[in-house]
Amino acid sequence: MKNIDRSDLTDMDEYIKFGGYSAILKALEMKPSDIIDEVKRSGLRGRGGAGFPTGMKWSFAAADPKKPKYLICNADEGEPGTFKDKPILEKNPHLLIEGMIISGYALQAEYGYIYLRGEYPKAKDILEKAIKQAYNRGYLGDNIHGKEVNFHLYVHQGAGAYICGEETALIESLEGKRGQPKIKPPFPVNEGFLSKPTVVNNVETLANIPYIIEIGAEAYSKIGSPECPGPKLFSVSGNVKNPGVYELPMGTTLREIIYTHCGGIRDDKKLKAVIPGGISTPILTPDKIDCPMDFVNMPKYGSMLGSGAVMVFDETVDLAKICLRAMKFFEHESCGKCTPCREGIGWMRAILERICSGSGMAGDIELLIEVSKNIAGKTFCPLGDGAAVVVQSFINNFRQEFEQHISKEFSKEIKVAA
Ligand code: NAD
């Protein structure tokens, strides 16, 4: 996000003025395999949420003899709480384009697609304008900068389905089919777009590539956590004084993010809970906020880095209602392909609705846990797992919030009020 608010970086001249498009010139002097090695040595891990080592993913696609190869940028960020890719797409599109040209060259892919979430119409116009500028200046198209390197880039807008952020559903959608996930393996690196080797990388991941080429893998690997280095974007929302997107070294603690960078809890209330990496990552109690936010350390504290979408809840928030809100989202977004997800999430929503409306019954919490266990690990894609994680982690950490709704005293109060 360097210079992102100092200048209009959507203008190619401004981007170049601040050093843009110099990494591509450096990369074009390197062998494709050397770029892959550089990315491997940098330690870069995927920023979409799963944290898979980027260089390793690239090397799998590069080693597959099938041709052509494709590069897809997953710009369908839809995980509730996640809005970290938006500033790159809307304010620094050339950084992403430069990252994609370098990645395309490294993979020997001549075609790239940006699969953009339907809810980002402003980004579509900005990206298309920037792509046109890059074509006009010879950075996209055939024989880039006089070299025998071709790379063509297109923007494809989704229609507002969360499931199309899942890479196999995304590829189906890009092929013009209904966006539904497929079982992996085969992974897209071997059988992706049009059944050819395809690398799907998140916006933020690709935006790191020019910087790695510019400063070199060794310098990059010294930023942030040694196990998963680099800068990380955190989108912070909820009850903090200054919500927004923050670029910080990987491994910055949740406490520092909330209290130093976001100014602490709004109205100086008490912190009740934090979801650290988007709605699908387990909710944490306040005693866990000294966790370093990276892919390796977060599991030790009982959660995951996910997409780095920090959602903060103060003492006044009813977490049972947040859980219900999340379940309505998952029910609405389930693609319906597999039964545990399609049916089970609706059941969990119905039980939560009963609990939150004061009609909860003894045994409802156990029933919720049981249904969630019949979804987790039994679906084609992680959407069902995400819903199960919400129910299980909310109940494990904040069971009393649900019990209060179910307790006789509470039900009586509701009935009297009614
Ligand atoms: P995954 O672990 O299945 O895969 C991660 C990536 O690594 C994929 O590109 C996959 O193809 C590749 N990969 C994994 N193992 C491989 C292998 N053996 N060989 C080749 N390639 C391999 O995870 P996923 O389903 O892609 O993503 C799940 C994550 O997405 C969750 O952790 C969640 O945090 C995140 N998420 C993010 C958003 C968002 O808006 N950013 C939305 C929903 C979910």
Query: Helical H runs in 108-250?
Result: 121-136, 167-174, 203-215, 217-220
- Given a cut of 90, is residue 173 above it in pLDDT? yes
Pocket flag, ligand 1, residue 53 (CB < 6 Å): no
The domain boundary residue, chosen from 220, 254, 276 = 220
Contact 120, 78 (CB under 8 A): no
Report the CATH number at residue 76.
3.40.50.11540
> Is 7 part of any domain?
no
What pLDDT score was predicted for residue 121? 97
Q: 215 and 250: one domain?
A: no
Whether 259 is in the pocket of ligand 1, judged by its Cβ within 6 Å, is no
Q: Closest ligand 1 atom, CA of 306?
A: 34
User: Residue range 270-286: average pLDDT?
Assistant: 98
121 lies in some domain: yes
- In 10 A of CB 381, how many CB atoms? 22
Q: Which atom of ligand 1 is nearest to the CA of 74?
A: 41
Q: Is residue 227 part of a domain?
A: no
**pLDDT at 145 > cutoff 60:** yes
Out of 57, 71, 89, give the residue to mutate to test ligand 1, the one with the largest number of ligand atoms within 8 Å of its CB.
Answer: 57
Same domain, 335 and 260: no
Q: Ligand 1 pocket, 85 CB below 6 A? A: no
Quote the pLDDT of residue 373.
98
| Separation of first and last alpha carbons in the chain | 53
Query: pLDDT digit string (tens) for 247-268?
Result: 999 999 999 999 999 999 999 9
Same domain, 53 and 145: yes
Nearest CA to ligand 1 atom 38: 79
**In terms of C-beta density within 10 A (0-12 exposed, 13-18 middle, 19 or more buried), how is residue 47 classed?**
buried
Out of 259, 291, 314, a domain closes at 314
**Atom 1 (ligand 1) nearest CA:** 50
Query: For 46-62, what is the mean pLDDT?
Result: 98
3-state secondary structure of 115: strand
- pLDDT tens for 94-126 read 999 999 999 999 999 999 999 999 999 999 999
Does 180 map to a domain? yes
CATH number at residue 404: 1.20.1440.230
Please report which confidence band the pLDDT of residue 31 belongs to, taking 50, 70 and 90 as the band edges.
very high
Q: Are the C-beta atoms of residues 175 and 194 closer than 8 Å to each other?
A: yes
pLDDT tens for 217-251 read 999 999 999 999 999 999 999 999 999 999 999 99
Look up residue 36 and give its amino acid: I
Residue with CA at minimum distance from ligand 1 atom 43: 79
Query: Does residue 247 sit in the same domain as residue 375?
Result: no
**363 and 407: one domain?**
yes
Given 169, 191, 220, the domain boundary residue is 220
Is residue 179 lining ligand 1, measured as CB closer than 6 Å? Answer: no
> What interface predicted TM-score (ipTM) does this complex get?
0.99
42 shares its domain with 119:
yes
Locate 219 and state its tokens. Answer: 């310098």
Instruction: For ligand 1, atom 4, name the residue with the nearest CA.
Output: 50
Q: Are residues 323 and 306 in the same domain?
A: no
**DSSP states of 401-415 as a string?**
HHHHHHSHHHHHHHH
271 and 255 housed in the same domain: yes
Q: What is the DSSP string of 123-162?
A: HHHHHHHHHHHHHHTTSSBSSGGGSS--BEEEEEE--S-G
Contact between 383 and 330 (Cβ < 8 Å)? yes
Q: What is the CATH number of the domain that holds 289?
A: 3.10.20.600
Whether 37 and 186 share a structural domain: yes
Beta strand 70-75 pairing with 152-157: unpaired
CB contact at 8 A, 311 and 299:
no
Query: 354-374 pLDDT, tens per residue?
Result: 999 999 999 999 999 999 999
Predicted local distance difference test score (pLDDT) of residue 407: 87
| Residue range of the domain that includes 370 | 319-417
pLDDT at 418: 43
Q: Is residue 190 packed enough to be buried (19+ CB in 10 Å), middle (13-18) or exposed (0-12)?
A: middle
User: Would 116 be classed as within a structural domain?
Assistant: yes
Phi, psi of 416 (to 5 degrees): -60, -45
Residues 22 and 153 in one domain: yes
The answer on pLDDT for 288 being more than 80 is yes
Q: Is the pLDDT of residue 305 over 60?
A: yes
Judge if 75 and 189 occupy the same domain.
Answer: yes
Average confidence score pLDDT of the chain: 96
Answer yes or no: is 32 within a domain: yes
Residue 414, φ and ψ in degrees, nearest 5: -60, -45
Closest approach atom of ligand 1 to CA 52: 7
Residue 302 has pLDDT above 70, yes or no: yes
pLDDT value at residue 408: 61
**Burial zone of 170 (CB within 10 Å; 0-12 exposed, 13-18 middle, 19+ buried):** buried
* 267 domain-assigned: yes
pLDDT on residue 411: 56
Provide the number of structural domains found in the chain. 3
- Residue 410: pLDDT band with limits 50, 70, 90: low
Above 90 in pLDDT, residue 413? no
Say yes or no: 71 and 148 in one domain: yes
**Is residue 84 in some structural domain?**
yes
Per the CB < 8 A criterion, the answer to whether 248 and 204 are in contact is no
